[in-house]
Structure 1
Amino acid sequence: MLFDLNDLRLFIYVAELKSLTRSAERMHLSLAATSSRIKGLEARFGMRLLYREAKGVKLTPAGETLLHHALTMMQQFSLLKSDMQQYSDEIKGHIRIFANTTAVTEFMPAALATFLRSHPNVNVSLEERLNYDIVRGIQDGAADIGIVAGTVQAQGLEMINFSTDQLTLATSADHPLANQKTVMFSDTLQYEHIGLHEGSTLQHFLDRIVEESGQKLNLRIQVRSFEAMCRMIESEIGIGILPKSAAERYQKSMRIELVALGDPWAVRERSIIYQKDTIVPKYMHDLMDCICGLPSY
């Protein structure tokens, strides 16, 4: 055999961490043993898989191909373990989810609370990612389930639309836009905005809208949560765009006003995506049912 599962797991860590040293620590190996295993892979395939650079390592094109297949093989091995769970209480299932900002902060806590109560032997990893990274993660096998909002290019993936995500403008009570029934996003750009952190799916989406329009978004402050955003808005530091469900919740305890956005993109379909033609464990179907069964947000 060309390699074993530990070789693949090590190679995946090297690709993700871009460091032999950190990968060795993750695998509880010495640096020498880690380097030897990678060199062994390169020798077996007869080609270079990594470029050694001053700041770490980088995959060669051949390394990128190996990474793609390694992720797929590890996913299939994970599914094998999951399917054998019925025969042994000691085997636990695991679901890795990539999701956008709204999913992570707004409705996944409720969905996971319901799911985990009835599936005590299943562990879940939930990571916030951009839409592009979510799709790629599912295609590459790095995640089992993706949750996206809006239009995405998801060739080769199954997609389940389960609810609608409506974005709205939040302002302080005395802001000039507070009395408007509807406003276009472009009309808000003359005012200072409160935004989410740079890794946020929503902020990335708004930045792209502004860039495509040729205008500029004046970000006064960037924060980590919708609650922090609304507190800044209440304090008249700026205005902000956020999901209507979150805005209405914070409006109950804060002096903020909500104004509907007239832009077509303000209403976005939320979808679950996962790989086609793969064996999906029953517990993963159960989790998707929990997500689809949530009240509309």
Structure 2
Amino acid sequence: MFTIDEIYDEMTHLDPEEKLARELDWNLLRTFIIIAKSASLTAAAEVLRLKQPTLSSALKRLETRIGKRLVDRSPGRFQLTAAGKVLEREAIEIHGAILRLGTQMREVTDEVRGHVRIAMASHVISPLFNEALTEFHTTHPHATLSIDVTASRYAIENLTARHASLAVCLVHDRSPKLKYRRLFQEYFGLFCGPSHPLFGRKNLTMADLAGHSSVSFVTDQMDDALRPVTLMRAEAHLDDRVVGNSAHLEEVRRMIIAGLGIGPLPIHVVRRDLEDGYLWQLPPYKDMRKIDVYVVWNPKAPLNRAEQAFLDILIARIDQTDISERTYR
């Protein structure tokens, strides 16, 4: 009756080296490294916390596998043979390779992969958020990320439906199922474009804006996230009819510059447009409306490692940065 190993050997016709590689027990090699560094089997047994006869039996099995005597154990003598020295050197190399393999496998396991989907309100300008993106990509270069620009209400809907990992947007009504962290604060002012009759005029008052047409965001409503901006427009007594609106800041800006009407924009976002003469700021000059922009996520939604890593990086940066440094005037 043949054993499985014997049948395998017969079928594959293993040469002695291949057979040794297949049958050699790594534990015996690891034990031999200790024996080779010890002054006796008794000393090696103490290190390995084994009984001396057990260790002697293990050495004998290894010598049988190798087919060579490995240690000269004559009276008063305990010394590696030439074959023992070769085996010690190779065993140490194998041990190092196994340690390197463990490190490499851990790195593979620890490597963060996955995709992060961010639902974001239009034209979010935040150095802190940009820094979080940089840190995330530098730390986890194999993870990927996409940013879908949409109205704030739809960003929340996408998050609730789990079509997004997190949202960066304005918030009006908070859901108890979601978590919120203020990313930054921005101030809104009213602006007009070069073709508007108020463009370039100084020392204007709110009364000068009365009756003029306006453009705005789809969230510029009393029951939505830009309610403070709606109140600011109402205080200016602009024409009740909004001639153009959009969910995207770039398009609201386009309509203002094109002269369709007076419209609200975040001051820090359009500072360059003011300098370049594309926009003109109108009253109120002091009592401008402050709007909070939030990071929103679902704490019960299962996140992949990339999603969790990015969220951790972003929240950590928020926690480490005072709100005064996250307020853009």
**Match 2:138 to one of 108, 117, 122:** 117
Give the aligned partner of residue 240 of structure 1: 263
Deviations 1:207-263 (A, max 9, x none): 55669x8x733326869653x655664564532211111122211212532235599
| Structure with the largest fraction of strand | 1
Task: Report the counterpart of residue 214 of structure 2 in structure 1.
Answer: 193
Distance in structure 2 (CA, Å) of the matches to 1:249 and 1:291: 26
1:286 maps onto 2:317 in alignment: no
Q: Look up the match of 2:35.
A: none
Distance 1:190 1:274, change over 3 A: same
Q: What are the Cα deviations for residues 149-173 of structure 1, in whole angstroms up to 9, with x where unaligned?
A: 2433221211111311221111246
Q: Which secondary structure does the structure 2 equivalent of 1:142 belong to?
A: coil
- Counterpart of 2:180 (choices 159, 179, 185) is 159
* Local SS of the residue matching 1:102: coil
- Residues in 1 aligned to 2:190 and 2:147: alpha-carbon distance in whole angstroms: 28
Bigger Cα Rg: 2
The match for 2:219 among 205, 213, 217 is 205
Separation in structure 1 between the aligned mates of residue 146 and residue 191 of structure 2, nearest angstrom: 32
TM-score normalized by the length of structure 2 = 0.48
AA of the residue aligned to 1:248: R
Q: Does 1:275 align with 2:298?
A: yes
Paired residues for 1:58-77 under 5 Å: none
State the match for 2:151 in structure 1: 130
| Identity among equivalent pairs (%) | 15
The amino acid that maps onto 2:122 is: T
Q: Distance in 2 between matches of 1:223 and 1:155?
A: 25
RMSD of Structure 2 on Structure 1 (CA): 4.2
Asked if 2 retains the 8 angstrom alpha-carbon contact of 1:172 and 1:235, the reply is yes
Q: Does 2:279 correspond to 1:251?
A: no
2:220 alignment partner, SS class: helix
The unaligned stretches of length 5 or more in structure 2 are: 1-104
SS state at 2:172 partner: coil
Change beyond 3 A, Cα 1:86–1:128: farther
Distance 1:124 1:286 in 2: 14
Q: Partner residue of 1:69? A: none
What is the SS of the residue equivalent to 1:94? Answer: strand
1:146 to 153, 158, 167: 167
Q: For each residue in 1:98-132, what CA deviation from the matched residue of structure 2 results, as whole angstroms up to 9, or x when unmatched?
A: 121132x6665565345323331221121123333
Q: What secondary structure, in the 3-state scheme, does the structure 2 residue paired with 1:152 have? A: coil
2:265 maps to a residue whose letter is: L
Report the secondary structure of 1:116's partner residue. Answer: helix
- Decide whether aligned partners of structure 1 residues 263 and 131 sit closer, same or farther in structure 2, where only a CA change above 3 A counts: farther
2:178/2:297 contact within 8 Å kept: yes
Q: TM-score, normalised by structure 1?
A: 0.52
Match of 2:191 in 1: 170
> In structure 2, do the counterparts of structure 1 residues 192 and 106 end up closer, same or farther at CA, with 3 Å as the change threshold?
farther
Q: Count matched residues.
A: 202
| CA pair 138-237 structure 1, distance change in 2 beyond 3 A | closer
| CA shift in 2, pair 1:125/1:183, >3 Å | farther
> SS at the partner of 1:245?
coil
Are residues 1:95 and 2:119 paired? no
AA in 2 matched with 1:250: D
The amino acid that maps onto 2:179 is E
